[in-house]
Amino acid sequence: MSPTLIYVVVRAAGQEFGVSPDEVLSRRRIGRFVAARQVSYYLLRTAARKTTTEIGKAFGRDHSTVVEGCQTIDAWCETDKTFAARVAKVEARVKGILGPKLES
């Protein structure tokens, strides 16, 4: 997985939740850090079509952590339309930067 792809996704998610890329990638469990991290997992899985193993390796986490994070974001998006709009905003920002390279 391209370091550029990870950086763009992590940076976009971090901007939306008010945290730095280093905070998104950290092991800290502060709510906004976790939300940005899980949105990053979710977008790498759904928009970039990366495997949970690839994502886990990039974040220094187990693939099951990525699976759980993606499920959490999916559930939040179904029940909270405001949160879903924030995720869509991050996805649009990433697609605006990477365009067709998103799935490479």
Contacts for 96 with CB less than 8 Å, ≥ 6 apart: none
% of the chain exceeding 90 in pLDDT: 90
| pLDDT score for 104 | 61
Q: What's 3-97's CATH class?
A: mainly alpha
Q: What is the mean pLDDT of residues 23-34?
A: 96
* Two tokens, residue 33: 């850090």
Plot region of 50 (φ>0 → left; ψ -120 to 50 → alpha; else → beta)? beta
Helix (H, G, I), strand (E, B) or coil at 66: helix
Taking the domains of the chain in order of start, what are their residue ranges? Answer: 3-97
Least confident of 6-10, 90-94, 99-103: 99-103
Q: Is residue 71's pLDDT more than 70?
A: yes
